[in-house]
A and B are shown apart, each in its own frame.
Chain A
Amino acid sequence: DAGVIQSPRHEVTEMGQEVTLRCKPISGHNSLFWYRQTMMRGLELLIYFNNNVPIDDSGMPEDRFSAKMPNASFSTLKIQPSEPRDSAVYFCASRTQGGQPQHFGDGTRLSIL
């Protein structure tokens, strides 16, 4: 079974540039989660979707961050403009509704210079 697929695995870009992270959830999973992992704050939830609808975006740090889920098999997390403090590992996870564990992708390591 294919797991959660994230791309790119690594991204290095200059501050001010737009960054787009991509996620393909496990087929049949109808909840999708975006996390950010940093040394200072650990693993923190940014936003999650149920059935392609954003349910809770209270973890999105500021208006520079946006996330979309145009269909059940694809989601994007966009940062525009990017700043050095956005450097982190970004994880996507998915699950079926009803208490199943979340399954994580291998993350995108983002470096903003």
Chain B
Amino acid sequence: DQQVKQNSPSLSVQEGRISILNCDYTNSMFDYFLWYKKYPAEGPTFLISISSIKDKNEDGRFTVFLNKSAKHLSLHIVPSQPGDSAVYFCAAMVSSGSRLTFGEGTQLTVNP
């Protein structure tokens, strides 16, 4: 039972353009969502998060949007840079607990 799904295994964009990574979840108890970025041979690093009381959170070039009714969130990167090339994981949790449930990841490639 995959409670968090990232349906696009890969995404390729040109430098300077917008990257949009998508994530869907099925568990309506999830109320806190995170995005992690992972480079090869390294652990995932935290990027940005959003609570279910918000529908948008912005941090520099990174913005996360949450649509609770659709159980969908997205990560926007503007402008995209070659250094953003990595695997991006969406994760969800019930904030009263500790368990994170991860999606499968999306490989983003930003071409110069």
Binding site for B on A (CB under 8 A): 4, 31, 33, 42-45, 48, 50, 55-56, 91, 93, 97, 99, 101-107
Contacts and interface: CB of A to CB of B under 8 A. Distances in A.
Interface SS of chain A: helix, strand, loop or mixed? strand
Interface string B70-112: 0000000000000000000100000100111111110000000
A106 B41 contact: yes
B26 to A, nearest CB: 15
B66 interface: no
A102 B95 contact: no
B43 interface: yes
Contact of A107 (B43, B45, B102): B43
A83 to B, nearest CB: 24
B49 interface: yes
B73 to A, nearest CB: 16
A108 to B, nearest CB: 10
B102 A4 contact: no
B43 A56 contact: no
Nearest to B6: A42
A110 to B, nearest CB: 14
B34 interface: yes
13 contacts: A33-B100, A42-B102, A43-B89, A44-B102, A45-B100, A45-B101, A48-B99, A56-B98, A56-B99, A97-B98, A101-B49, A104-B36, A104-B44
Given A43-B89, A107-B43, A101 B102 contact: no
Contacts of A106: 41-43
A99 B99 contact: no
Q: Which of A45, A50, A101 has the most CB of B within 10 A?
A: A101
Contacts of B103: 42
Given A43-B89, A107-B42, 17 more contacts: A42-B103, A42-B104, A43-B105, A45-B99, A48-B98, A55-B98, A91-B43, A91-B44, A93-B43, A99-B95, A101-B49, A104-B36, A104-B43, A104-B44, A106-B41, A106-B42, A107-B41
